[in-house]
Each structure stands twice: as structure tokens, then as C-alpha cells.
Amino acid sequence: MELLPKCIFITGTDTNCGKTYAVVELLKHYSALKPRMIAIKPIASGASSKDPLTNGDIAALSKVQGHADGDTINAFLFQPAAAPHILAQHNNTPLNWQIFDRGVNKLLDLQHWQQAFDVCLIEGAGGWRLPLNNQETLDQWVGEHKMRVVLVVGMQLGCINHALLTVDSIQNSGAELIGWVANHVVADMPYVKDNLQSLKELIKAPMLGEIQHNGAYESVTDIKI
């Protein structure tokens, strides 16, 4: 499997942990800095039509990057909001590593990003261990490419357990965890500062930033490329 270099995979502790919010904020933060970044979301579910821009995540990535065409960001779109591998089976549109690989490389080629940008953020779907079919999972694909990974932690009750389980799985996959982002998905999480401190001490990778519940992004440290 061939993949253009300097890609960072963005994963999360669960569905709705705020991966897209994090990617958007990282793109904004680095817009005037190096590394220069673009972002794609190869696989997504939940749209009102076959137009990728009717998916909220793809629309958000398109808006922040000034794209008019969602096909430069997304390769595999399923209209119902459900597990992509199940939708792929029902639609007789099989997914596997090779098909996913071709889709990602097509998006990167459409972007011509290697001439103008330093890094492409590849946003995953759902959590870390997303099935592509009943034998292959997306995390295996990421590990096969020995990709660098940023983890988005949805700050809510249970997040420490979810984060540590995901961190262990990333490290055991062959991928490299290069940092994590805390996203305050609830407004009034009890003992939120204590939870953050525990995550900082337990995750052996730098905290890159923090997204407040009002959407404001606070950078803590920059990604090392």
C-alpha cells in the first residue's frame, strides 16, 4: 500500500468526541504557522444527499479550507448515520484496506497538497477501531502505514478509561501517538481540572491543546514535524 508522506491521522475516544472540531481548530491555528496543513475525511456517514457537503463534518472542513467541492475532502460517503461497514454491506459497496488506500491517495492527488502544504490531517470516522468490513479495521490500516496519530479526548465522565484504552491500542498497532487534544463536550463536567491533570500524567504524549465548551481553542504545544 502506497501513501503520500507526512500524513497525521486524527482519531477520537468515541463518536461525537469532537474530532472535526479539533481538526478545524488545528487548521486555523497553523494557518499562519508551519507546518502548513490541509485536512481530508475519507469516510463519513450521515448526509441528506449524495453531495458530501450535506455531511456536517465535511462541510465544516470544506468551509475552513475554502473548498467548494466536497469530493476533494471525502471519498466514501454513506447517507444514513450508521456504522459505515454495515452500510457498505447493505449497499453492495465493499470496503477494505486497498479500496480505502486508493480513496485516500485520490484525495491527496486531487489536493496536489505535496506542492503547497507540509502535512495532511486525515480525520477518521467514529472511534479508533472502526470496522471497514468484518475482518479489517481502520486502526489496522493506520498501523500498517506506521502513521502518526493525534487523539481527541471528549472530556466527559469515563474519558480517562476511554483515552487510556485508545492510547494502548494506538501504541500496540505500530502507529505513533504524537499528541492529544482535550475537547470539553459537556459544559459542567465534575472535577474537570483533576481529570485533565490525570490525563496529562497518564498519557505519555504531549497535550497539544484544549477546546473549551464554547468552541475557543487554546494551544498548549505545537506538533513537531
CA atoms of 38 and 16, how far apart (whole Å): 21
Instruction: Give me the mean pLDDT over the 11-17 stretch.
Output: 94
What pLDDT does 23 receive? 96
Kindly list the distances between the CA atom of residue 46 and the CA atoms of 51, 80, 84, in Å, as whole numbers in the listed order.
Answer: 11, 5, 10
pLDDT > 70 fraction of the chain, expressed in percent and rounded: 96
Degrees, nearest 5: CA angle 191-196-202: 125
- The percent of residues in the chain predicted with pLDDT above 90, rounded, is 78
Quote the pLDDT of residue 1.
47
DSSP state letter for 32: G
Q: Which pLDDT score is estimated for 104?
A: 93
Active site residue 224: no
Higher pLDDT, 111 or 152: 152
Q: Considering the chain, what is the average pLDDT of its residues?
A: 92
pTM of the model: 0.94
68 or 84, which is more confident?
A: 84
pLDDT 10s digits, 113-137: 666 778 899 999 999 999 999 999 9
Q: Look at residue 3 in the predicted model and tell me its pLDDT.
A: 56
The closest alpha carbon to 59, from 49, 108, 13, belongs to: 49
- Note the helical H segments in 56-179: 56-65, 84-90, 97-111, 113-116, 138-144, 159-173
- Report how far residue 90's alpha carbon sits from residue 6's, in angstroms, rounded to the nearest whole number: 34
Question: Tell me: domain 7-219, CATH 3.40.50.300, correct?
Answer: yes
Q: Which of 41, 106, 146, 200 is catalytic?
A: 41
* Cα radius of gyration rounded to whole Å, the chain: 17
The pLDDT value recorded for residue 200 is 97
- CB-based burial of residue 127 (10 Å sphere; 0-12 exposed, 13-18 middle, 19+ buried)? buried
Residue bearing the bigger pLDDT, 202 or 110: 202
Q: Nearest CA to 170 among 207, 145, 194? A: 145
Distances, alpha carbon 44 to alpha carbons 174, 190, 212, in Å: 24, 32, 25
> Does 68 score more than 90 pLDDT?
no
What does each C-alpha distance from 221 to 30, 61, 88, 165, 205 come to in angstroms? 12, 22, 39, 23, 11
List alpha helices for 112-156, DSSP H: 113-116, 138-144
CB count within 10 Å of CB 139 equals 25
Q: How many CA atoms lie within 13 A of 159 on its CB side?
A: 32
Interatomic CA distance for residues 115 and 98, integer angstroms: 25
Q: How does pLDDT run across 40-59, given as a tens digit for each residue?
A: 999 999 999 999 999 999 99
pLDDT in tens, 141-194: 999 999 999 999 999 999 999 999 999 999 999 999 999 999 999 999 999 999
